[in-house]
């Protein structure tokens, strides 16, 4: 890995040192270095597969076996991977800063695995499931035993993953908490998200409107780049550990 320090504005360190609340909004890019494909871009899932067929209620009702199989395929990928240095650096920030909130669009649970204790899942979690008719909840173990689309043992309805599909609302409590956190953020990191899917993509704007210092971490330009105070064009598995390391070095020299 490239060990060259990032060219960071020391003002970021000043703000971090006084911050009450640090928030990271994360997307598929933060898990890319763990081996989970992103949705958009040249290698993205939505280049080859149609979201309306695999990630909508209409698509599920049309072909429940196929959608179930696809989610099981994604769980099989996630089962085999580990949090990467980006997830770990975000978890380690909790040791250094007062309040750290991770708002994620990812459904893979890798932030929690890395040790982050305050994670808001905006798009659900791929390991949780529920019956589309009676709402009964099912865990992953029960799902794994099934062949084809699993059905509810209470009412016979189809069981689907507890993820947010296109055309569906975000879980209201999670989104309200995310908005409150974004508004309270002194520093927001927008990490590995194309910021194309709303309402999650509006959160950096909310943070900015409430005077947060906004840092984007993404190898590519996004709409967030236009409003960010700093854009770090590096993979998050490299950038986040360097930000933390450089901050700790700055703190040491500024208190020596």
The residue at minimum Cβ distance from ligand OAD is 29
> Of 54 and 152, which has the nearer Cβ to ligand OAD?
54
SS3 90: helix
Among the residue ranges 65-73, 92-100, 147-155, 231-239, the one whose residues contact ligand OAD (CB under 6 A) = 231-239
Under the binding rule (CB under 6 A), the answer on residue 202 touching ligand OAD is: no
Under the binding rule (CB under 6 A), the answer on residue 171 touching ligand OAD is: no
DSSP 61-83: HH-HHHHHHHHHHHHHHHHH---
Among the residue ranges 13-21, 127-135, 179-187, 213-221, the one whose residues contact ligand OAD (CB under 6 A) = 213-221
Q: What residues have CB less than 8 Å from 148, skipping those under 6 apart?
A: 64, 65, 68
As measured in angstroms, the least distance from the Cβ of 167 to ligand OAD is 10
Footprint on residues 5-64 left by ligand OAD (CB under 6 A) = 27-29, 32-33, 38-41, 44, 51, 55
Footprint on residues 66-125 left by ligand OAD (CB under 6 A) = 105, 123
As measured in angstroms, the least distance from the Cβ of 111 to ligand OAD is 13
Residue 122 contacts residue 103 (beta carbons within 8 Å): yes
Q: Of how many residues is the chain composed? A: 256
Cα–Cα distance between 55 and 189 in angstroms, integer? Answer: 27
Cα–Cα distance between 35 and 237 in angstroms, integer? Answer: 12
Query: How many chain residues interact with ligand OAD (CB under 6 A)?
Result: 28
The only residue of 184, 219, 246, 251 in contact with ligand OAD, by rule CB under 6 A: 219
| Lookup result for tokens 């978890």 | 91
CA dihedral 50→53→56→58, nearest 10 degrees, is: 150
156: left (phi over 0), alpha (psi -120 to 50) or beta: left
SS3 236: helix
> Of 29 and 83, which has the nearer Cβ to ligand OAD?
29
Residue 163 contacts residue 124 (beta carbons within 8 Å): yes
The only residue of 6, 57, 197, 227 in contact with ligand OAD, by rule CB under 6 A: 197
Footprint on residues 236-255 left by ligand OAD (CB under 6 A) = 236-237
> Of 45 and 159, which has the nearer Cβ to ligand OAD?
45
């Amino acid at each position: 890995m490239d060990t060259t320090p990032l060219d960071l504005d020391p003002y970021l360190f000043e703000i971090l040192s006084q911050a009450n609340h640090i928030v990271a909004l994360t997307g598929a890019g933060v898990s890319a270095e763990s081996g989970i494909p992103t949705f958009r871009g040249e290698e993205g899932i939505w280049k080859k597969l149609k979201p309306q067929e695999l990630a909508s209620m209409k698509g599920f009702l049309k072909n429940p076996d196929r959608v179930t199989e696809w989610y099981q395929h994604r769980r099989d990928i996630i089962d085999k991977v580990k949090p990467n240095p980006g997830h770990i650096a975000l978890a380690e920030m909790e040791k250094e800063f007062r309040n750290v909130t991770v708002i994620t669009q990812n459904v893979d649970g890798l932030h929690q695995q890395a040790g982050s204790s305050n994670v808001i899942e905006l798009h659900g979690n791929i390991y949780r499931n529920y019956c589309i008719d009676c709402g009964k909840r099912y865990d992953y173990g029960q799902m794994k035993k099934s062949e084809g689309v699993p059905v509810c043992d209470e009412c016979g309805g189809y069981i689907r993953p507890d993820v947010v599909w296109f055309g569906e609302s975000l879980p209201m409590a999670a989104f309200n908490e995310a908005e409150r956190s974004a508004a309270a953020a002194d520093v927001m990191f927008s990490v590995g998200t194309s910021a194309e899917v709303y309402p999650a993509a509006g959160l950096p704007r909310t943070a900015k409107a409430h005077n947060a210092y906004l840092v984007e971490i993404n190898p590519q330009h996004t709409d967030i780049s236009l409003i960010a105070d700093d854009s770090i064009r590096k993979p998050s598995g490299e950038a986040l550990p360097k930000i933390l390391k450089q901050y700790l070095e700055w703190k040491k020299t500024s208190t020596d």
